[in-house]
Amino acid sequence: MLWLIVKYSVIAGMVVLISKVAKRSDRLGDLLAALPFVIVLVLVWMKIEGQTQ
């Protein structure tokens, strides 16, 4: 259960961070949103949990 809360918190933190950056600089916010941070995190979490793609 704790692991699930940590995963959701990290994703929510990333969304908040990107939205805060986008308010200050449109281009930097767009760049951060386009980078595949979430996909890389999901792949790492799947590897840690032993799931296959």
Residue 53 has pLDDT above 70, yes or no: no
CA 13 to chain centre: 8
Give the chain's domain count.
1
State which residues form the domain around 41. Answer: 2-49
Q: What is the tens place of the pLDDT at every residue in 5-51?
A: 988 898 899 889 889 999 999 898 888 888 787 788 888 888 888 87
